[in-house]
Amino acid sequence: MDLRPLPRAFYARPVLSVARDCIGKHLVRDTADGRVVGRIVEAEAYRGPEDRAAHSFGGRRTARTEVMYGPPGHAYVFFVYGLHHHVNLVTTEIDKPHAVLLRAVEPVAGLELMAERRGMPATRRELTNGPGKLCEAFAIDRRDNGIDLTSAPLFLSDGAVCKVARATRVGIDYAGAVWAARPWRFFDPASRYVSKSAGARSRR
DNA sequence: TGAATGATTTACT
DNA sequence: GTAAATCATTCAA
């Protein structure tokens, strides 16, 4: 498998295009313990400042959101609920706080390491089928906030093209019905690792 | 300075 | 199905 990082040009595009195109791509993570690789099967677009569901809504520019205003191709990592991390791809261009949340991957390599970090057998779907879960399996935390995604230790690499389905985003009801209804979640309908297929046209 | 809350996960009834 | 865990960030005073 050829695991070269995608160029910055991949990220320097409209956020919805990046969110759709990263389905099927590989996420590669290197640490002292070794390398883990996953195939991205679910992602969501957040388009601040007009997107009420985005942290950068209203042009909010704080220590936390600062990374999203920087150049595309960097990681925006944040901490929620007192125990979980989420990782985003910063996209588009400088001063446009648009980002793609990675919600789920299919384990491809380094299964043992992921299982050890998650404290469960590598055969379980729960290994990486959620945004907080994949961060734990990939050992991503807020020390990775702002790192460059065009080189190790964290980057996206090419993958096979697959079908991509759309649905509404998850867990953003606080943004109101209008924004919650935007079909800005993209996923591979054939994957068993998608966190929630409900809300999509396909069932099960 | 202090209070409220969340791009969730997990365990328990 | 529901509820608890748990803390950085944000906003108000």
Rounded to whole angstroms, the distance from the CA of residue A160 to the C1' of nucleotide C3 is 41
d(CA A168, CA A186): 9
pLDDT of residue A19: 98
Q: d(Cα A81, Cα A147) in Å, to the nearest integer?
A: 23
| CA→C1' distance for A62 and C11 (Å) | 12
Confidence of residue A204 (pLDDT cuts 50, 70, 90): very low
Q: Which pLDDT score, from 0 to 100, does residue A49 have?
A: 96
A84 beta carbon < 7 A from strand B? yes
Instruction: Name the closest nucleotide to A145, judged by C1' and CA.
Output: C8
Residue A197 has pLDDT above 90, yes or no: no
- pLDDT digits 0-9 by tens, A15-55: 999 999 999 999 999 999 999 999 999 999 999 999 999 99
User: What's this model's pTM, rounded to 2 decimal places?
Assistant: 0.95
In chain C, which nucleotides are within 7 Å of a protein Cβ? 5-11
Residue % of chain A over a pLDDT of 70: 96
| Residue A203: per-residue pLDDT | 34
3-state SS, residue A35: strand
A179 neighbors A53 (Cβ within 8 angstroms): yes
Strand partners, A98: A47
In this predicted model, what pLDDT tens digit does every residue of A126-184 receive, in sequence order? 999 999 999 999 999 999 999 999 999 999 999 999 999 999 999 999 999 999 999 99
| DSSP H/E element including A4 | none
> Could you give the CA distance from residue A204 to residue A196 in angstroms, rounded to a whole number?
9
Nucleotide nearest to A84 (CA to C1'): B8
Average pLDDT over residues A195-201: 58
A10 touches strand B (CB under 7 A): no
CA distance A60 to A54: 10
C1'-nearest nucleotide to the CA of A99: B7
DSSP state of A9: H
What is the residue type of A199? Answer: G
Chain B positions within 7 A of any protein Cβ atom are 5-10
Give the pLDDT of residue A158: 96
Distance A71 CA to C2 C1' (A): 42
Provide the residue type at A178 as one letter: V
Rounded CA gap, A8 and A127, in Å? Answer: 29
Q: What is the Cα gyration radius of chain A? A: 16
